[in-house]
Structure formats: structure tokens, C-alpha cells
């Protein structure tokens, strides 16, 4: 198999890449990466010392590709699916890149901050940082509410890289920080969840949901399908 994705079915950033691979129907081998296993972690750090997952290995081209946005642009260039993840027109591509960055930096990362804080020992928790993350999410939700009131997908009529970024970010963010009185944000998440590629990613993650630090806050329709 040419493409190997080191990933974990519960890991939100891995979902971003899995959605793109399933959307495109690109064949790949998923290798379960357990960072809690010392040997697996050491091997992973050898490949990419930053230590984040997912990591794509392209054996045919001899490339190790980290960072989800770069992985998706790489796949789009070298293993394109029927529809591009990034539009060819430069201005349209910039808009997609902006909203990919937006979902990663202002939804996904604050969500991670809230989730990982719960994994820390009580004495090492960071209530100030968590409060900042919650405030950041509320700002981001307000922006998504305005934007998605008039769009099917993050950048218009076509499903793109920005939607791959939005899916895991909104899925987990909505569990740890409620939407408030907003309609377009949950409606957009519902549209994302209806895509077969997304449903497949979530079905594969479902057996692991018990390990999610906020498992008790997961709505039954997300937890059980």
C-alpha cells in the first residue's frame, strides 16, 4: 500500500484527514497509533519529533507528510479525488485556506484545550486558559453562525478542505461548550454528519467514545448514532 496514515480513530485531527480520504475514495492503510505505548511513541517521534498525529507516509514518493492541512493539500495534488479540496482559482483557494485555518485555530484548538485540561491532574489544571478557550469558542460560533446562515458549506456550494477542518472541530466543540442560541452552527454540523464519508469516520470512532474525557456530555444521537 502506497499511503499509510498513522492515526487513532478517536483523535479529532485524524478525522479531518480521514474525511478527505473517504470523500475521495483514495486507498490507504490506517495504522493505529497508540501514543500511550512507549515503543510506538518513540517510533512516531523518530518520524516526526513534534509528535502530533496524524502522519501520512507516502511510500511510493518517499515522503513523510505531517500537519493535516499540508496532508490534505498533498493528497489533493498527488492523489486527487473526483472533486478538488482546494479550488484551482487562487482567490477562491485563499478563502478556503482562511476558513481551514479558522476552524483549526479558533475552534479546534480551544476545544482541545478544554478537553486536555480534564486529563491533567487536578493541581495542574488551568482554569484561566480554559475560560479563555470557552470565550474564544463563543466568538468563533458567532462568526460561523453568520457565515453559515447563507451557505451550504464553509466556502459556498462545494465541499472543501475547510469543511474537512470544520467537521471534527465542531463535533467535539459542541459537546464541551454549548452553541448558545444559535441555529446555523448546529444545522451546518448536521449537514456535515449526513455525508457518508463523515458518517463512516464517526462509526469507526464510536467504539472509542467511552475514552473521550467528556463522554458523559455526549448527546446520545452522537454517541450511539
51 binds ligand GSH (CB under 6 A): yes
166 binds ligand GSH (CB under 6 A): no
In angstroms, the Cα distances linking 179 to 56, 58, 173 are 33, 39, 9
Contact by Cβ (8 Å): 172, 111: yes
Closest approach of Cβ 36 to ligand GSH, in Å? 10
CB under 8 Å to 121, separation ≥6 — which residues? Answer: none
Q: Nearer to ligand GSH by C-beta: 78 or 182?
A: 78
Strand order in 3-7's β-sheet? 29-32, 3-7, 55-58, 63-65
From candidates 3, 6, 68, 166, binder to ligand GSH by CB under 6 A: 68
142 binds ligand GSH (CB under 6 A): no
Q: Number of residues in contact with ligand GSH, rule: CB under 6 A?
A: 9
7 binds ligand GSH (CB under 6 A): no
Closest approach of Cβ 79 to ligand GSH, in Å? 18
171 binds ligand GSH (CB under 6 A): no
Q: Nearer to ligand GSH by C-beta: 36 or 219?
A: 36
114 binds ligand GSH (CB under 6 A): no
From candidates 23, 58, 67, 73, binder to ligand GSH by CB under 6 A: 67
Distance of alpha carbon 195 from the chain centroid: 15
77 binds ligand GSH (CB under 6 A): no
φ/ψ of 80, rounded to 5, equals -65, 145
Contact by Cβ (8 Å): 53, 6: yes
Alpha-carbon span 28 to 31, nearest angstrom: 10
111 binds ligand GSH (CB under 6 A): no
213 binds ligand GSH (CB under 6 A): no
CA–CA–CA angle 30, 112, 68 (5° rounding): 40
Residues that bind ligand GSH (CB under 6 A): 11-13, 35, 51-53, 67-68
Amino acid at each position: 500500500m502506497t499511503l499509510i496514515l498513522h492515526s487513532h480513530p478517536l483523535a479529532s485531527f485524524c478525522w479531518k484527514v480521514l474525511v478527505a480520504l473517504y470523500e475521495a475514495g483514495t486507498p490507504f492503510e490506517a495504522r493505529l497509533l497508540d501514543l500511550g505505548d512507549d515503543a510506538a511513541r518513540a517510533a512516531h517521534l523518530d518520524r516526526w519529533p513534534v509528535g502530533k498525529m496524524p502522519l501520512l507516509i507516502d511510500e511510493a514518493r518517499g515522503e513523510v507528510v505531517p500537519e493535516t492541512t499540508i496532508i490534505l493539500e498533498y493528497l489533493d495534488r498527488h492523489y486527487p479525488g473526483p472533486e478538488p479540496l482546494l479550488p484551482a482559482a487562487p482567490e477562491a483557494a485563499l478563502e478556503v485556506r482562511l476558513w481551514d485555518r479558522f476552524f483549526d485555530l479558533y475552534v479546534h484548538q480551544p476545544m482541545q484545550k478544554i478537553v486536555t485540561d480534564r486529563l491533567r491532574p487536578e493541581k495542574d489544571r488551568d482554569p484561566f486558559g480554559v475560560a479563555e478557550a470557552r470565550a474564544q469558542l463563543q466568538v468563533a460560533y458567532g462568526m460561523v453562525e453568520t457565515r453559515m446562515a447563507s451557505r451550504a458549506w464553509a466556502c459556498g456550494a462545494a465541499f472543501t478542505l475547510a469543511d474537512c477542518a470544520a467537521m471534527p472541530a465542531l463535533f467535539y466543540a459542541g459537546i464541551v461548550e454549548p452553541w448558545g442560541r444559535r441555529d446555523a452552527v448546529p444545522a451546518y454540523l448536521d449537514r456535515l454528519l449526513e455525508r457518508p464519508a463523515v458518517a463512516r469516520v464517526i462509526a469507526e470512532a464510536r467504539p472509542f467514545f467511552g475514552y473521550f474525557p467528556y463522554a458523559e456530555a455526549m448527546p446520545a444521537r452522537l454517541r450511539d448514532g
